């Protein structure tokens, strides 16, 4: 699937639970410290073990990823 900017969104169907997940074209990275959370969900798709460990440590430390490959999902966008 592509958006109006021609960015591709990955689609991951689950035929067992008949649920389809659409992933953003960029990795969504939001600091868990911005919310009152007890748990955070991390979706892992194609990452290596080292990348997974880095992701987990970053989330546990309350930080978020920055750069052109990441987005905050317009979390702070005003309507």
* Distance from C-alpha of 52 to C-alpha of 43, rounded to nearest angstrom: 10
Rounded to an integer, the average pLDDT of 11-22 is 88
Is 79 a residue whose pLDDT tops 80? no
Is 50 a residue whose pLDDT tops 90? yes
The domain segmentation of the chain, as residue ranges, is 27-71
Length of the chain as a residue count: 79
Query: Which is higher by pLDDT, 16 or 37?
Result: 16
Cα torsion for 53, 54, 56, 60, to the nearest 10°?
Answer: 130
pLDDT in tens, 19-29: 898 888 888 88
User: Is 0.75 topped by the overall pTM?
Assistant: no
């Amino acid at each position: 699937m592509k958006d109006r900017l021609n960015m591709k969104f990955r689609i991951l169907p689950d035929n067992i639970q008949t649920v389809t997940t659409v992933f953003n074209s960029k990795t969504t990275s939001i600091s868990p410290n911005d919310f009152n959370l007890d748990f955070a969900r991390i979706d892992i798709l194609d990452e290596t073990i080292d990348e997974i460990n880095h992701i987990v440590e970053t989330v546990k430390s309350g930080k978020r990823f920055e750069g052109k490959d990441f987005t905050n999902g317009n979390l702070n966008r005003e309507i």
